[in-house]
């Protein structure tokens, strides 16, 4: 599975304005609504917050991978948000988060959901790559950077 297959340019938001966890999730879900029809976004935000209550998806090193399952989507979909100032997201290392990869899957989509989480984690493990993402000025730049990196690693 490639991240570039579940993420598209419309799902990349540079310059997140939120400074609180719940507001970041709302902003990411708004970006998701630009990509696919999600009906009422509040139910997806609720599912994401329930997942966050189990433990923060802020994995450290400036990265968070909020994710959840909902009957509001028909296929696995990702959006990516970049905060220039960083957000306190209760990350495991206590540091601010700059890169948010939101992953939303249908309730019956366990396998692909887990594969996508693993793939995102592998992709963002490279600190130089993350620095390049943070320096991107347009959604197209971000998407092309991810696609190029995925193609390079195959």
| Residue 93 tokens, joined | 């290392």
What are the tokens at 112? 């692909």
Whole-number Å distance between alpha carbons of 95 and 103: 21
Query: Residues for the chain: how many in total?
Result: 154
Q: How far is CA 70 from CA 77, 91, 103, in A?
A: 11, 24, 11
Query: Do the Cβ atoms of 103 and 116 come closer than 8 Å?
Result: yes
**Catalytic residue of the set 13, 21, 26, 67:** 67
**Catalytic site includes residue 67:** yes
CA proximity to 20, closest of 97, 99, 118, 89: 89
Can you tell me the distance from the alpha carbon of 8 to that of 110, in angstroms, rounded to the nearest whole number?
22
Catalytic residues: 67
């Amino acid at each position: 599975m490639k991240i570039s297959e579940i993420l598209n340019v419309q799902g990349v938001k540079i310059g997140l304005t939120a400074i609180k966890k719940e507001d970041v999730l709302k902003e990411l879900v708004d970006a998701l609504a630009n990509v696919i029809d999600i009906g009422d976004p509040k139910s997806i935000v609720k599912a994401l917050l329930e997942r966050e209550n189990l433990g923060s998806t802020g994995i450290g090193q400036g990265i968070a991978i909020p994710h959840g399952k909902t009957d509001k989507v028909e296929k696995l979909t990702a959006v990516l948000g970049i905060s220039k100032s960083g957000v306190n997201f209760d990350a495991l290392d206590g540091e601010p988060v700059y890169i948010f990869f939101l992953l939303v899957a249908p309730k019956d989509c366990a396998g692909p959901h887990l594969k996508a989480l693993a793939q995102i984690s592998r992709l963002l493990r490279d600190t130089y790559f993350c620095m390049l993402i943070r320096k991107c000025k347009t959604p197209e730049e971000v998407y092309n950077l991810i696609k190029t990196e995925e193609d390079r690693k195959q």
